[in-house]
Amino acid sequence: MKRVTQAQSGATYRRLPITARLENVLEYAARQADVNVRVTSGGQQHVPGKIGKSIKGVRTGSIRHDIRPGHMGAADIVLIDRNSGSQLDMRKATDASRMGVFTEAAVAAGATGVGAGVGYMGAHTIHVGDGGSGTWGGASFINGAHSRGIARFRGGQEVKAAQNVGKSHEHVTVESVLVRPTIKRGSKGEHVLVLQAALGLKVDGNFGPETEKAVKELQKKNKLKADGIVGPITWRAVG
Region of 47-55, 70-78, 81-89, 227-235 interacting with Zn ion (CB under 5 A):
70-78
Compute the least distance from the CB of residue 77 to Zn ion, in Å. Answer: 9
Q: Does 76 bind Zn ion (CB under 5 A)?
A: yes
Nearer to Zn ion, 74 or 111 (CB): 74
Taking the least distance from each CB to Zn ion, the nearer of 11 and 20 is 11
Residues 171-190 that bind Zn ion (CB under 5 A): none
- 77 forms beta bridges with 39, 126
* Cα distance between residue 28 and residue 21, in whole Å: 11
Nearer to Zn ion, 18 or 192 (CB): 18
- CB 219 to Zn ion: min, Å: 36
| Residue 14 binds Zn ion (CB under 5 A) | no
Taking CB under 5 A as the rule, does residue 127 contact Zn ion? yes
Which span sits near Zn ion by CB under 5 A: 15-23, 71-79, 87-95, 191-199? 71-79
Binding part of the chain for Zn ion, among 75-83, 143-151, 213-221, 227-235 by CB under 5 A, reads 75-83
In single-letter form, the type of residue at position 75 comes to A
Residue 35's nearest CA partner among 109, 108, 106 is 106
Quick count: other Cβ atoms within 10 Å of Cβ 216?
17
Of the candidate spans 120-128, 150-158, 164-172, 226-234, the one that interacts with Zn ion by CB under 5 A turns out to be 120-128
Smallest distance from Zn ion to CB 127, Å: 4
Choose between 76 and 158: whose C-beta lies nearer to Zn ion: 76
Determine, following the binding rule CB under 5 A, whether residue 130 of this chain makes contact with Zn ion.
no
Amino acid identity of residue 218, one-letter, is L
Contacting residues for 208 by C-beta, under 8 A, at least 6 apart: 185
Three-state SS for 77?
strand
Binding of Zn ion by 191 (CB under 5 A) = no
How far CA 164 is from CA of 2, 115, 157, 160, 213, in Å, comes to 13, 25, 11, 6, 47
| Cα-based torsion angle of the residue sequence 160, 148, 88, 106 in order, rounded to the nearest 10 degrees | -20
CA distances from residue 64 to 107, 117, 146 in whole angstroms, order as listed = 15, 18, 17
Instruction: List residues binding Zn ion (CB under 5 A).
Output: 74, 76, 127
